[in-house]
Amino acid sequence: MSPRYCVVGGGISGLAAAYRLRVLAGDDADITVFDPADRLGGILRTERLGGQMMDVGAEAFVVRRPEVPALLTELGLAGRQISTTGVRPTIYSQGRSHPLPPDTVNGIPTSAASVTGLVDDATIAQMAAEPNRPLRWQAGADPAVGAVVADRFGDQVVARSVDPMLSGVYAGSAATIGIRSAAPTLAAALDAGAPSLTDAGRRALPGSAQGPVFGAIEGGYQVLLDELVARSRLRWVQNAIQHIAPDAKGWNLRDDEDGHHHADAVIVAVPAPRLAPLLADVAPNAAATAARIPVASAAVLALAVPGGTPLPQQSGVLVASGERLHTKAITLSTRKWGARGNAELLRLSFGRFGDSVARDTPDSALLNWAVADLEAVFGIAVDPLDFLVHRWLDAMPQYGPGHRELTAGLRSDVPPTLAIAGNYLDGIGVPACVAVAGRAAQAVVAATIRQ
Ligand SMILES: Cc1cc2nc3c(=O)[nH]c(=O)nc-3n(C[C@H](O)[C@H](O)[C@H](O)COP(=O)(O)OP(=O)(O)OC[C@H]3O[C@@H](n4cnc5c(N)ncnc54)[C@H](O)[C@@H]3O)c2cc1C
C-alpha cells in the first residue's frame, strides 16, 4: 500500500512540506493538501498591479540563509532569483528621514557613531559610556530586547532604531520580542561573556562584503508556489480541517463539510492560533501552548503611481515608534527591485501588535492615510493609478521572551507521525518556514517507514 500523507495548510510551510514529502516518499505516495483559501500560498501572494506582478504578502527572503536559494536551485528556478538594486531604506523619526544606521544587529547599534543624528546628545553620551558600565547577564536568559537596549543605550535607541526593524519583521516591537529571537548571535555573544552590549553587538555583527541581504523572485513568489505544487503532485482539497483524531491505522481528519480523510501521517502547517483546536484531543499540551503565542495583524496597501513620480532613490522607509504617521513601513518596490514597467509600485504596511488597525480600517481610509503619509515623508502628492489592500490577520507570531522553550515544549507533545510546521516555530521568515517544513517531512516519512 502506498503511504497517504495529509498536509493541513497550504502556505509556504505546507507546500514546502508537500514537495519534500514527494522527494522523500517517492512517486507512489498519496499527498493531499487541505486549505480553504481561494488559492494556495497563504501569506505568499502575488497580484497584478499597474500591469506588473507584485507580492502583497512576503516580498523578499534573506539570502544569507541558504534555504530559499537552495530550494530555487533544486527546482530549476535559480535564474529567477533577483537582488535589490542596492538602494537603502531610511528611518523616519522626529518628523524627518535619517539614514539607516550602519553596523547594527537588527537595529541594535554597535557604536554611538552609527546613530549620531538619530538620537540626542545625552543618548550618544550614554552609549559611549556603556562599555565601561558593568553588565549583569545570566547565560541563557531571554529578556525582551527593548528592556536590554533601553537599559544600556536608552529609550531613544529602542524607539528609533530597534522598533522600526522589529515592526517590519514581526509587526511587533522591542517590547514584544525576546533578545534571543531578535538578535540570536548577540545573545550568544552575551552568553559567551561579552562584557557590554556594545562588545556583544560587535562580536555578533555579520562580516562585511557578504553581498546583498535580500533576494526576491522575478515574477513574484507565485513562481515558486506553482513549481512546488507541480513538483509535489499534490491533491488540493479546498476545505479547512476541523479535527484530527487517531484511527486504527493512523489519523482521521474531519473537514468543515464533515468529510473524513485517512492519513498514515499528517503535517499540520497552519498558523499558531489555528493549531490549538486541531490538536486539542491529540496533543492537548501543545494545543494549549500554541494558543498562548501572541499574534499581530498587518494590512498591506499596494499602490501603483505614474512613472516619473519623483520618489527618492531609496528602497523604503521604516517608521520609528511614536511618529505621527499611520504607516509603519513604506517600500518603494520599483526602486528596491528595479523597474518592470511604466508605473511605480509602492507598498505601505499598517498595523502593529496590540492594535486593530489591520482588522478595522476600511480600504478607503487606508488609501487616504497612504497618500497623506507619502506627502508627509517625501513631500510629494502622489496620484494613485490603482491600489489594492490585503489584510493578514493574526498572521505574525510574536517571538516573545522564552519563545524557544515554549516551542520546544510544544514539539515534545506531538506524536511521531504527526508533525507541525509554520512561522511560529523557528523563525517568522520564509527561509525558516522552508527549513521547518523540510524537517517535518523527514520526520513523518521516517516515522511512517518505522511503523
Ligand atoms: C505582511 C507580511 C509581510 C511579510 N514579509 C516577509 C518577507 O518579506 N520575507 C519573509 O521571509 N517573510 C515575510 N513575512 C513572513 C512570512 O511571509 C510568513 O511567516 C510565511 O509566509 C508563513 O507561511 P506559513 O505557511 O507558515 O503560514 P501561512 O502563509 O499563514 O499559511 C497557512 C495556511 O493555513 C491555512 N489554514 C488555516 N487554518 C486551516 C485549517 N484549519 N485547515 C486547513 N488550512 C488551514 C490558511 O488558509 C493558510 O493558507 C511576512 C509576513 C507578512 C504578514
Answer whether 37 contacts ligand 1 (Cβ < 6 A): yes
- The CATH code of domain 4-46+64-82+220-293+399-450 reads 3.50.50.60
- The pLDDT value given to residue 451: 72
Closest C-alpha to ligand 1, atom 40: 240
Answer whether 13 contacts ligand 1 (Cβ < 6 A): yes
- The pLDDT value given to residue 208: 58
239 C-alpha vs ligand 1 centroid, how far in Å? 17
Query: How many angstroms separate the CA atoms of 49 and 302, rounded?
Result: 8
Strands 52-55, 46-49: pairing is: antiparallel
Answer whether 58 contacts ligand 1 (Cβ < 6 A): yes
- The rounded Cα 239 to chain-centroid distance in angstroms is 25
Closest C-alpha to ligand 1, atom 3: 58
Query: How many angstroms separate the CA atoms of 121 and 242, rounded?
Result: 56
Answer whether 213 contacts ligand 1 (Cβ < 6 A): no
Residue ranges of domains in the chain: 4-46+64-82+220-293+399-450, 104-204, 295-397
E strand segments, 256-378: 260-263, 265-268, 295-305, 316-319, 329-331, 344-350
- The pLDDT value given to residue 210: 64
Ligand 1 atom closest to the Cα of residue 37 is 47
Closest C-alpha to ligand 1, atom 26: 422
Helix (H) or strand (E) holding 46: strand 46-49
Q: Which three cell numbers stand for residue 239?
A: 476545505
Per-residue pLDDT reduced to its tens digit, 258-282: 999 999 999 999 999 999 999 999 9
- The pLDDT value given to residue 183: 96
Strands 386-397, 295-305: pairing is: antiparallel
219 C-alpha vs ligand 1 centroid, how far in Å? 19
Query: How many angstroms separate the CA atoms of 274 and 268, rounded?
Result: 10
Q: Which residue in 296, 283, 294 sits closest to 409, CA to CA?
A: 283
- The pLDDT value given to residue 206: 76
Superfamily of structural domain 295-397: Protoporphyrinogen oxidase, mitochondrial; domain 2 (3.90.660.20)
Q: Which residue in 97, 130, 60 sits closest to 336, CA to CA?
A: 60
Per-residue pLDDT reduced to its tens digit, 61-112: 999 899 999 999 999 999 999 999 999 999 999 999 999 999 999 999 999 9
Q: Which three cell numbers stand for residue 450?
A: 518505522
Ligand 1 atom closest to the Cα of residue 277 is 41
- The pLDDT value given to residue 1: 75
Exposure class string for 260-270: b at 16+ Cβ within 10 A, else e: ebebbbbbbbb
First to last CA, the chain: 13
Query: Are the beta carbons of 446 and 33 closer than 8 angstroms?
Result: no
- The pLDDT value given to residue 211: 74
Query: How many angstroms separate the CA atoms of 307 and 339, rounded?
Result: 9
- The pLDDT value given to residue 23: 98
Q: Which residue in 368, 326, 381, 373 sits closest to 351, CA to CA?
A: 326
- The pLDDT value given to residue 173: 92
Query: Are the beta carbons of 221 and 46 closer than 8 angstroms?
Result: yes
Query: How many angstroms separate the CA atoms of 104 and 92, rounded?
Result: 17
Query: Are the beta carbons of 328 and 167 closer than 8 angstroms?
Result: yes
Q: How many CB atoms lie within 10 A of CB 120?
A: 12
- The pLDDT value given to residue 399: 97
Closest C-alpha to ligand 1, atom 25: 11
- The CATH code of domain 104-204 reads 1.10.3110.10
Given a cut of 50, the residues of the chain with pLDDT beneath it are none
- Secondary-structure percent of the chain, ordered helix, strand, coil, rounded to 5: 35, 25, 40
Query: Are the beta carbons of 276 and 268 closer than 8 angstroms?
Result: no
